[in-house]
Each structure stands twice: as structure tokens, then as C-alpha cells.
Structure 1
Amino acid sequence: MKIALTIMAVTGIAIGLAIPAKPRAAAAPVAQPVGDVPVETVLDRTPNGHFLAVADVNDEPIRFVVDTGADTVALTVEDARRAHVAFDPLQFQVVGRGASGDVRGQEVRIANIVLDGKRATDVRAVVLEGSDMSLLGHSYLRRMQNVQIAGDKMTLR
């Protein structure tokens, strides 16, 4: 399990570095609160060094490794299906390079991601072939007002 998560983290970082960021005309919009006020999210580092969170993707709860080294959100095939994200496995292509070689997947857009009331819409993401864990990367995190890591705590505002 520890080895698999380490490989997943390395793969996430490799994908984040390998996928070129698309130029933007303006800064990404800040996540919009759902209901009244979004809740500050404080995540504890797990014993294997990761920060885990459950966020709603298109109203479906998905478990993520919060990966500040990944440029984009990455979903497993199973999580993408559960969250009704449109993709076609026949259209998978090389989207990055990981420790074990080429990483295949498909670029997609996610309508909504909500974590503790912090909603981001039209989020750039990839669906990854053979991935065991979804990654919450910068295409969502950059929409937060603040992401901070201090010791064994990550705070999202």
C-alpha cells in the first residue's frame, strides 16, 4: 500500500510537470462559496506523508490525495464514471510520463468540485488509465484564496 501511494504521488507530480499549462487570458476565478460561507479545511498529514480529502465532484463524493505538485486534477476511471465525467477510453493518449513510463489518459472538464463549501466550476482535469487514486491538483487548488502547509497540517481557505 505504501509503495502504491508513493508511486501514485510520483506519477501525479510527473503528470503535473508534463502537462503543459494552457495560457489564460485572466487569472482563474476564486472558488465560490456554496450556501453561506465556505468552511476552512484543515487536513492532517497521513503516516505515509499524504494529505487526503473527500470532495464532491458533480455531487458525487470522491476521495483525493491533495497534490500540490500536480498541475491538474486527475481522476481514476472509476471515479470519473461515478461522477458522470464524460470521457472515452478509446481516446486515451499519452498525457504525461511517470516513474514507470508513459501515463495515458484523456483531458476533460469537470462541471463542479466542492470541498467544504469551496466550489470551483469548469475545472480542467484528466482521467488516468490504470490509476488507483484521484489527485486534487492545482487546477482546483489555485482557485482557493490560500493553501498553506505548516508542519503536518494543510489549510485550504
Structure 2
Amino acid sequence: MDNPGALAEIWDSVAAVIREVPRSGLLIATLVALVCGWIGSIMVRRDVPMGGTIRLTSTLVLTGILVTIVLQLARFDPRIDLALPTVGLPEQVVEGGETRIPLAPDGHFWLVAQVNGEPVEFMIDTGATLTAVSTDVAQRTGLEPRRGGLPVQLSTANGTISAQLATVDEIRFGNVAARGLDAVIAPNLGDTSVIGMNLLSRLKGWRVEDNTLILTPNNPQPVLEESGAESGY
């Protein structure tokens, strides 16, 4: 083998997907459609009635699954999110007024947000694509995995972990409120929940001045009711 490390990484990824099959409606539907398509093709070659119908149905199901996956992935990027419909999922909105978060002694920006009315400590991570919470936080705040959602693999300091997509009704901190936001529920995430770029990129802008992170929403609304938690420190 020219690159055993690369092959091992590919195998680990395949194994992770296989492990997710029992928990993912999309993966189960994909496997069933593929098997049906294979059976339909055999029936067509042997001139068995209904073979063509089974194969066509399989193709339509696979097309629907592909569209569903594209729509879910599109929600991660607000530029695409604006261009594609999101059937059955709420619009992701971030609004409010300017909020300032001071740099903590550990060199990170921390805040305490109200997630569906429950206080949760977050670290703002501009390197994270998605906002993420642990299983414990999800249970405490009433977050549930999205039915039929696409499984997500996250790279952490402890290795790659599997996460499930969820929709947060509301995240509120300082003068900012995010509604309908996508998030991932990640087991073994620990006590550190993360606000990622799927929230930050829906702001008008954000910048760091004098060790203070300044968040500026689009279309500023009247100042929201203070959550009393611009910073976790």
C-alpha cells in the first residue's frame, strides 16, 4: 500500500457511516432504494413484469433523498440558504442589536446564552462550521435530533465523533436572538458548547477591537430583553 494512513482514514469514514445506518432514516432509505433498484434491474433483464416500475421508483426515491441532502447542507451556508427553499424547516434568523463580548483570560470569547429559556455557556469558535451542544445540554434544553436528518461527523481534540442535526427554537444572548438555527448534538463534547459560523455568518458583521468581540446583526431591531449574559466570565 502506497499510503496506509490514507486508506485507514477512508476505512474509518466508511465504518462511521455504517455505524450510523440504524440511526439515520436517510441512510436506511438510501440502502433500501439501492437494493430495490438492483432487484428492478435484474427483473428488467429477465423480462419480469413490474421490473421497470420498481427501478423507476428506486431512481425517484434516490433523487428525492439527494434533494433532501442538498437542502440540509444548503442551510449551513446563508448564501445558498437564501437561494433554496427549505421544506419543513424554519428560516434561520439572527437579529437584535450590537453585542460586545470581552476576551476571557484563557484567550477565548465566552458567553452565557438562553437556549429555549435555559442558560448554557458557549465558546465562540470561528473555526466551527456549526453551532454544537452536548447530549446533556440538548436534554436540558429540550433539543431533539431532527427526524431523517443527515448524520454529521465532527473532528474534535478527542478524534472524530458522530453528531445529529437539530433545530434550536431560540438562542438569546446580550442583544442578539437567533431563531430556527441549525445545531448539532454531539456526544462526548463535554461541557464546552460552541457557537459556530452558521450563526456568525448570518450577522451583518463581527470584528475584534481592543480584545472585545463586537457582533452586529442585520436589520437591527429594538434592544432585546437583556439575558444578563454578554460574557461567561
Q: Which letter maps to 1:137?
A: G
Out of 152, 159, 162, the residue aligned to residue 104 of structure 1 is 162
Unaligned runs of 5+ in 2: 1-69, 75-79, 84-90, 217-233
- State the TM-score, normalizing by the size of structure 2: 0.50
- State the TM-score, normalizing by the size of structure 1: 0.71
- Structure 2 contact 93–180 (Cα < 8 Å) conserved: no
In structure 2, the CA distance between the partners of 1:71 and 1:110, relative to structure 1 (3 Å rule), is: same
Say if 2:177 is the partner of 1:119. yes
Aligned to 2:48: none
SS in structure 2 of the partner of residue 130 of structure 1: coil
Out of 24, 31, 36, the residue aligned to residue 94 of structure 2 is 31
Query: Whose radius of gyration is greater, 1 or 2?
Result: 2
Identical amino acids, percent of aligned pairs = 27
Q: Structure 2 CA distance, aligned partners of 1:44 and 1:80?
A: 26
Deviation above 6 Å: which 4+ runs of structure 1? Answer: none
Structure 1 or 2: larger helix share? 2
Post-superposition Cα deviations, 1:1-60, rounded to whole Å, max 9, x if no partner, equal xxxxxxxxxxxxxxxxxxx98222417865233xxxx3x321121222110011111111
Matching of residues 1-157 of structure 1 within 5 Å: 22-23=73-74, 24-26=80-82, 31-33=94-96, 38=97, 40-87=98-145, 95-132=153-190, 133-157=192-216
Post-superposition Cα deviations, 1:106-151, rounded to whole Å, max 9, x if no partner, equal 1111111112232221111101111121001112222222211134
- Structure 1 contact 120–143 (Cα < 8 Å) conserved: no
Unaligned runs of 5+ in 1: 1-19
Instruction: Count residues with an aligned counterpart.
Output: 131
**RCO (CA 8 Å, sep 6+): is it higher in 1 or 2?**
1
Q: Structure 1 CA distance, aligned partners of 2:134 and 2:115?
A: 12
Query: In angstroms, what is the RMSD of aligned CA positions?
Result: 2.7
TM superposition shift of 1:94: 5.5
